[in-house]
Amino acid sequence: MRRSIAVGTIVAGAAVAGVIARRPLKAHLAEGTLPGRGGSWINSYGCRPMYRLIADTLEATGEDDLLDVACGWGEFLAVHAAQARRVAGIDWSEAKVRLARERLADRIAAGTAEVVHGDATVLPWAEATFSAVTLMDAFPFLPDPRRTLSEILRVLRPGGRMVIHIGMRWPDGPPKHLPHPITQVVDVSDEDAVRKLIEDAGFGEVSMIYGPASAGPVGHLVDLRLMGSDELRLVKAVKPEQTPGS
């Protein structure tokens, strides 16, 4: 779920956005995102530490062709992957895709970006299209993480890297007042289980990366109080140069 250094602001903004969108706020929170341009800005503001951590871990260059799965309104692509040679995004929300296309309009017109509406389990790109793939703030919500990982592996080039955000770091499991972060196939608070899932999908060099979830001391205290942690967890992995049996 999206994090913020100003939880009160997020809740208030979500309530307003939820009313404007005429959808129950609970539905948007369950999806881990807030509706509309205002809600998207709130999400992005709260996720700045995560974006920076992912960007630092990925180390994208001008030689990269980068795909962001569950790209939302394109914050990572527009701000943190601007140096990549080509960027692409996919999201299940048509409203978010429209916003992302607006933000990336110049690059789309230049032919160096595209944003599509679609499902993470059926990526509409050919094999070995990208050198890097990111997936953030969505892994616990994936209906079929195995298939999504398989698709990411397929569209990555040999030697290409994947960086995904899998949620907060809870060494002893999430606090009792929070929903347990279990997808249909894996408990994402169990790092060994997540590592095995990713290795079984065909990735190598799997490593866990940790970093602060908040940008300041107030956010740090709020996250510790409400979320039981102020550490994000990323997974970095690489598509082997040769697949088994090749």
54-89 pLDDT, tens per residue?
A: 999 999 999 999 999 999 989 999 999 999 999 999
pLDDT digits (tens, 9 = 90+) for 169-219: 666 666 665 565 555 577 887 889 999 999 999 999 999 999 877 766 656
Per-residue model confidence (pLDDT) at position 218: 59
Give tens-digit pLDDT for 90-102. 999 999 999 999 9
The pLDDT score that the predictor gives to residue 227 is 62
Mean pLDDT on 137-142: 84
Residue 107: pLDDT band with limits 50, 70, 90: very high
The reported pLDDT for the residue numbered 220 is 56
Q: Over 70: is that where the pLDDT of 120 sits?
A: yes
Torsion from C-alpha of 113, 101, 72, 196, nearest 10 degrees: -20
Q: Per-residue pLDDT for 43 more than 80? A: no
- Show me where the domains of the chain are located: 47-238
Which residues are bridge partners to 117 per DSSP? 91
Q: What are phi and psi of 180, to 5 degrees?
A: -70, 130
Q: Does the 47-238 domain belong in CATH 3.40.50.150? A: yes
Report pTM: 0.79
Distance CA 55, CA 70 (A): 16
User: Residue 67 belongs to what H/E stretch?
Assistant: strand 65-69
d(CA 200, CA 113): 31
Spatial neighbors of 201 by CB under 8 A, at least 6 apart, are 146, 149, 150, 153
> Which of these ranges, 13-17, 37-41, 229-233, has the smallest mean pLDDT?
13-17
